[in-house]
Structure 1
Amino acid sequence: MTKAPIKVVLVEDSVVALEILERLLKTAPEVEIVGTARDGREGINMIQRTQPDVICTDLQMPVMDGLEFTKEVMKLCPRPILVISNAVQPGDIDNVYSLMQAGALDFFPKPNTGAPTDYEKLKGALVTKIKVLASKRV
Structure 2
Amino acid sequence: MAKIKVVLIEDSVVALEILQRLINSSEEVEVVGTALDGASGLQVIEQNQPDVICTDLQMPGMDGLEFTKEVMKRFPRPVLVVSNAVQPSDVDNIYNLMQAGALDFFPKPTSGISTDYERLKSALVTKIKVLASKRVS
Gaps in structure 1 of 5+ consecutive residues: none
Structure ranking higher on relative contact order (CA contacts 8 Å, 6+ apart):
2
1:77 matches 2:75:
yes
TM superposition shift of 1:111: 1.6
What amino acid is aligned across from residue 39 of structure 1 in structure 2?
D
- What residue in structure 2 maps to residue 133 of structure 1? 131
Among candidates 65, 89, 92, match of residue 90 of structure 2: 92
User: For residues 6-21 of structure 1, what are the structure 2 equivalents within 5 Å?
Assistant: 6-21=4-19
Distance 1:69 1:24 in 2: 23
Equivalent residue for 2:36, pick from 24, 35, 38: 38
Q: Give the TM-score normalised by the residue count of structure 2.
A: 0.97
* Structure 1 consecutive aligned stretches of length 4 or more whose deviation exceeds 2 Å: none
**Alignment match, 1:110:** 108
TM-score (norm 1): 0.96
Look up the equivalent residue of 2:14 and give its one-letter code.
V
Q: Among the aligned pairs, what percent are the same residue?
A: 75
Q: Deviations over 1:58-104 (max 9, x none)?
A: 00001110000000000001010000000000100000000000000
The 3 A distance-change label for structure 1 pair 60 and 74 is same
Match of 1:59 among 42, 45, 57: 57
Gaps of at least 5 residues in structure 2 are none
Partners of 2:15 and 2:110 within 8 A in 1: no
- For residues 52 and 13 of structure 2, the distance between their equivalents in structure 1, rounded to whole angstroms, comes to 20
Q: CA deviation at 1:113?
A: 5.7
Moved more, 17-26 or 123-132: 17-26
Supply the distance in 1 between the matched residues of 2:109 and 2:7 (Cα, whole angstroms): 18
